[in-house]
């Protein structure tokens, strides 16, 4: 399986101050993680999926670390770590069958 990196935000707290509405989601996840805020974070990050990617944005392993929270939303993998302050989104790529 292959994964396309959509977006990785190293310092979510700094990023959220620039983007209205996401600050409350991140603050809530840091305090009391819940499915609704995870969905909101996913939809926020999903806006950076333009449907195309370069070869250097593709990997054969998901980018999650050992302390990360990982959630699957359809063909996407949301990864975040409230202690280290980062979040990322990857798309699972369909592999074409070999004929």
Domains in the chain: boundaries: 2-93
Residues in a beta bridge with 4: 58, 91
pTM, rounded to two decimals: 0.82
Indicate the helix (H) or strand (E) that contains 61. none
pLDDT of amino acid 97 = 46
Residues (pLDDT < 70) of the chain are 13-21, 95-99
Look-up: residue for tokens 């369909």? 94
Distance in angstroms (rounded) separating the CA atoms of residues 26 and 46? 15
- Token pair for 36: 């609704």
């Amino acid at each position: 399986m292959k994964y396309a990196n959509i977006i990785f935000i190293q310092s979510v707290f700094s990023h959220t101050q620039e983007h209205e509405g996401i600050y409350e989601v991140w603050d809530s996840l840091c305090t009391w993680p819940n499915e609704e805020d995870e969905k909101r974070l996913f939809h926020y990050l999903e806006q950076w999926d333009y449907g195309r990617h370069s070869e250097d944005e593709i990997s054969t392993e998901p980018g999650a670390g050992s302390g990360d929270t990982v959630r699957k939303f359809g063909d996407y993998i949301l990864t975040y770590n409230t202690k280290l302050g980062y979040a990322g989104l990857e798309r699972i790529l369909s592999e074409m069958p070999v004929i």
